[in-house]
Structure formats: C-alpha cells, structure tokens
Structure 1
Amino acid sequence: MKVAVIGGGLAGLVTAWRLGQSGIDVTVIDPAPGSGASNVAGGMLAPVSEAWFGEEDRLALDLASHSLWPGFASDLEADSGVKIGFRTEGTIQFAFNQDDLRALKQTREFQLSLGLDVVELSGSQLRELEPLLSPNVLGASLVKSDHSVDNRALVVALIAACKANGIEFVKERAIGIEFEPGSEEKKVRAVRTSRQFIAATKIVIAAGAWSSQILGAESLGVRPIMGEILRVAPRGRATKTITHTIRGTVRGFTVYLVPRSNGDIVIGATQVETGFDLDPTAGGVFQLLRDAREVFPYLSEMRIVELMAGLRPGSPDNAPLLGPLPNREGMYAATGHYRNGVLLTPATGDVMRAHLTDAPIPEYALAFTPGRFTSLTGARG
C-alpha cells in the first residue's frame, strides 16, 4: 500500500506520522508544510469550554481526543525530540457584564448536566489564580481539565516525527486526483501536482480550507472561515503575564488569551466567512485588542509581535470529515475540523490510521465519516 496525503497541516501530518509508525509508505504533498491554519491558532485543548448546546456527538469526539493528549504528547516528543509546550494549568471562563454572566451561568449549568468538571469561582478565588485580571470581571468558572499546547511547536514536532519515520515530503501544490481508466472516476491511482503525477493506492484529502478546491474532491463541501489572531509579549524584562488560558465574553463578544512558556500571549479569534481572503482587518484587530484589554488591562503595556489571519476548514455541519468517501475507492478525507483542529489532532491520527489499515474504527468517530452527507455521492461537481 502506498498512501499520498494531500496537505501538510496538523490533520495531514498526524495521519502520515501514525501511518509511518505502522511501516506504511507515505508521501505528504504540500508546497509549505505547517504554514496554513495550523500555524495560526491559540492551541486550546478545551472540550469542556467548547461544549455547545446541541453538539453532544461532537463533544464525545472532543472528549475522546482530549483524553489521548497526555500519551500523545509524550509519544510525539519522544519520536521527534521536540517539546510541544503541553500545559495543564486549566482554563478560566469569564463574564464581563450581567448579560455575559447570565450566559456563563447557563453554559455552566449545561456543562454540569453533562457531568463535566466545572467549578464556579468567587471574585477572591479568581484574583488568587489570576491577580492581573480586571476587577470588572463579574464571574468566572474554572475548567481544570481544559489544557493548551503550542500549536507551532506541535507542527514542528510532527514534521520531525514524520521524517524520523521515513515519510517523504513533496513540496508542490496538489491540483487533482487521477483515477484508474475505466473506473468511472471511482478508483484512485495518483495525485496530480503542478509538476508531476504521484502514484498512490490510497489518497487522503487533508488540505484544510482548500480541500474542496482539489479536482476530484469538490463534493466534500469544505469552506474557508477566516480567523484573526494577535500575539503579544512583555516589554524588556517585564514578567507579568497569565498562567491559565482565559476565555469568555465581553459584552457578547468572544475572546481568548492563551499563554506561552516564553511569556507571549496569543489573543483570538475573530470569525468571518469572506472566501479565501487572508488580509487581517482593522475592525477585527480593534475588537480583539478592545475585549482582551477589558479583561486583562496589563495588555496595554505589552508589545504586539505578530498579527495573522488563517482559514479554518468548515464542513457543512462544522464537524470533521474523517474516513472514506462514498463511491470513491481509495479516497479518504481528514478535514473540516473547524475550530478544534488542534484538540482533535490525536484522534485524527488514530481514526485515520484505523480507516486506512482496515482496523476497527473507534466508536467515538463513527458519526463523522463523509458518508453522513447524502450529497457526498462521489460524483464530480
């Protein structure tokens, strides 16, 4: 078996790594591995904080992947020799005004009804955990189990682990899928790039927001959703920062602050559907700085070191597409992760390895195959 993985983001890299560990011949095709949305993220591993009404199936997948993270991080660091900044201090969800507080209480009640580990914090408890937060924060919850990782270190580690396991990288853009003659475009045989054909018996579409732009994979229905983030750092020798991931709402607007081990803080993230436009907007930057400063006033004294925009891949229901495409022999998807691509990295690797090696599929992933959409018939167009 020879596998071609189209896309060198987290989904493609973890799929390739896990297959490589199983001794399978894998080629990753991407002009710049790790440079897409995987490079523009907060790195939150927060299934409890991300729990939303009506997404119980998705929560089961998120929780399953979250439970894999400690072992996954240890395995990856050992295989790659790269530390990935896996942090376990927990997440604080906050509310800034009375409307935000009502929403936070409703969210906490929902989380508790699902048996999730959430603790209401008093004002004094909040200040003890994070003394630099604004006294104007009216309420908060502590989610000890919601962790974080340095997503950029994670990408570096996965690339190193892939290379250590003999994965080949072709730094070219994939244009389309070639099918066996006479198969009525149902059996794959190669990936066509801008320069060559790469033979493969199985092909994984893991091109993030661009997955549906590949000829032969249009039916996936993946669309781009732009998110803007800021990275700030202390000035000079200043060491003031936060230790927990901070996320919540300021007058109805969502914002998060994720600390890094070097003192930097990642602030995000906006969400807008504007096609493949990657230009950050003045309004988006203003919103992030305004809301982050309200909850963390010391931000005014920090320096901006980076402003970036990335394109999250959204499926028709904003849940991931993991597994074989209907009526397409040898064609698989690992895309559509939307806002939880980092969190779902361990599960994506395990699930895709199971699909590609005909091993039993974890129960938590059965609801997320591309076949759940009747429109994904395998017909082009």
Structure 2
Amino acid sequence: MATAFDRTHTDDLIAYLSASPSPYHAVASAAERLEKAGYRQLSETEAWSGSAGGRYVIRAGALIAWYVPESATAATPFRIIGAHTDSPNLRVKPIPDTGSAGWRQIAVELYGGTLHNTWLDRDLGLSGRLALRDGSTRLVHIDRPLLRVPQLAIHLDRSANEGLTLDKQRHLTPVWGLGRVEEGALIAFVAEEADVDADDIAGWDLMVHDIQPPAYLGRDGELLAAPRLDNLLSVHAGAAALTSVTDSDPRHIPVLAAFDHEENGSQSDTGAQGPLLGNVLERSIAARGGSLEDRARAFAGTVCLSSDMGHAVHPNYSDRHEPGHHPLPNGGPILKVNVNQRYATDGVGRAVFARACERAAVPWQAFVSNNSMPCGTTIGPITAARLGIHTVDVGVAALSMHSSRELCGADDPFLLASALKSFVEE
C-alpha cells in the first residue's frame, strides 16, 4: 500500500491550479506539460499523420491528448482518462458595467452549481479569454484584488445566522470601485491589462476567481485547500499519467479527454455530449489506415476512467452519507457507484480499477450515495452512451465541493495519478 507523501506531485498540482483560473488557462497549462514530454499540437483543419508519438488538440476550453505506441495497429483499443476543465463560478455578462448607489459593479451570471455564499467577502481576480477582430484569442489573468461580493452586515440582517438567503440577481453582483457607471469601462481595463487595443476586442469569456493561493492545511499539512480541485485535480493527474508513458510501449493507446462545460450538462461542442472525443479517436484510427471495422474493434476493447471529485464523509453531516461507505481523505482514489447510471461503474469496471490500483500499490475506496439523497453525475455515463465504450467512474474524496475553495487529502493527488498511470500503461 502506497503511504509515502509525494510532495513533488502535489506541489506541481498547486502550481497548476494557480496558473489555471479558467478552463482556457487549464488547457494551456496542461499543454505546456505535454509539450515538455514530447507531445505536439495538431490542428483539426489539417491532415493527421498516423505515426507513433504523442499528439494533442485544443478546442477552446477542451483538450484531447493521446500517445500512439510503436506497436499500435489501426484496431488497437484506447485507454481513456476523462475529466473536465470547468468549475462553478461567476462569469461576466455581455454588458458588464453596472452599479448602484454610487458603487461601480460588474454584472455576472452564475455558472454551474455554485455554493453562492462561498463567493461572499473574498478578494476576487478576473480571468478568461478575449476574442480579437483578427480571429485570434488572448488569455487574461488578473490575479490581484479587483472585485468583491460584499455581504450585508449582521446589523442590517439580524436573522442572517438563522438562515442566509441570497437572491441570485441582486445579491451576488461584485463591486470594483466607486463612481458613476461607465459603459465599456471593464473591457477597456481588461484590454490594458492584456496589452491589446480595446477596439480590437470583439468578444470575451471572462470569469472571476478567488485569488487566495492553494495551501497545505492541518496540523501535519495532510490536507490541501484550493480552488478548482473539482476537477483540475483530475486533469492534472491525467496529464501526469500521459507524460509518463512516452518511454514505454503500452498495449493500448493512452488518451486524456479534458472536456469543458461538465458543470452545466456537457451540451456543447467542447463538452462530453459533443462529438469532439469521438472525432479525434476516429481520425486517429483513420490516420493509421483504419477502416470502420477497425474502429468497431478498437472501441469494443476501449475502457474509459471518468475521473471527477467525489464526496468525503463530512464530520459535521455524517448522517447525509451512506452508513457503510465513508471515504476519507488520503485513503486513496474512490470508485463511484450508482445502479441508476448516474455513475457508469459496473462490476467489470470495478475489476479494471482494482487491478490498476493493485499494480500501482495504491489503496482505494468505494463511494455510493445515501438512498435518501439525490446523486450527482459526471461525464462517465455520457461518454459511455455516446461512444458505446466501457466506462468507470472514479475520483478523489473531498469536502466543500463546488465551493470557491475546496478541501482534499494532500496524498490523494499523487495516489490518483499513480492509479491512472497504471491504468493507461496496462
């Protein structure tokens, strides 16, 4: 059983989280790691080679990477690590400049299943991408105190501690200064920060992020507190697994599929319900001279580990959890099961995951929801249904999921990455 704390891996995860405040940054940061391992970016509009080696494609906030071994044929199955790059947050509206009572504010829209109160009274930065008139994009990362969603003082709401109710439209609008509202002020400011002409900006995808950096927490530093653990921890672990196979000759073709828009249903051209992953896999097969028959054979032997954060047992709310399944931080990755297919795991998938963990000497845990509590879902069932490939749901146990700042075990990122490496190297 692996019990050693690998600070190097978790330190690198901290650096990755800090550099990735938006899905677009998460993709760029993962691509940097892949490039260092010899992977090369392909364009979707150009012809692809079927030669051996590592490749990846980027589409906005999604990334698909794969490694073709020297021994691969057109019918070689894939070993896919599925994850997602997006996290619940507050995103800037098309007309952002607003205000009230002498305050300058920024109009935001809620993205995904945010824990609203966790965005109150936090120093917030701004990140995302700008779309320029020449067709290019520019990443933006303003990582200093810029915005804040101020909570109402208890003197003006004596019942706040008996039950805080936040109106999504009225109570979550950040402030960023004083004075009258000026149309175009935010984009002019962002343009200056990005060193572009404001007139060249034709569109934007901007969002706020908590600027407090990730940190080890606890008496012995055994916990990790950080934003966007859901689900950049899995993207980082998947990238680590893929970069580890470049000196080996695995029997399968390892793939990392990091989708966007999981937090709002995956229905987009960069989400798991879109055609991106299927197109990439089929083009890879075709580039190696594969036929429809080869595609069918490859997909029939393919397995996907859908890796996403899961729930650790909460010490203050243990009654909300299934009594016989209490995953704890640093107990190793979790196998997520739901017989109603909110998770895609079945008994055969359990065996695949167990073998990967055993080969890596990694402990693992099982998670199932309390029957009285609704179960969340992942890209797992979507991937299984869309592509017809065997899929297993796994992850890391965490507290404060969908908070602006989440909590997991400091050992678990390394343990997950070790299990994923074992899975793709089989």
TM-score of the aligned structures, taking structure 2 as reference length: 0.22
Normalized per residue, the structure richer in helix is 1
TM-score of the aligned structures, taking structure 1 as reference length: 0.24
Name which one, 1 or 2, has greater alpha-carbon Rg. 2
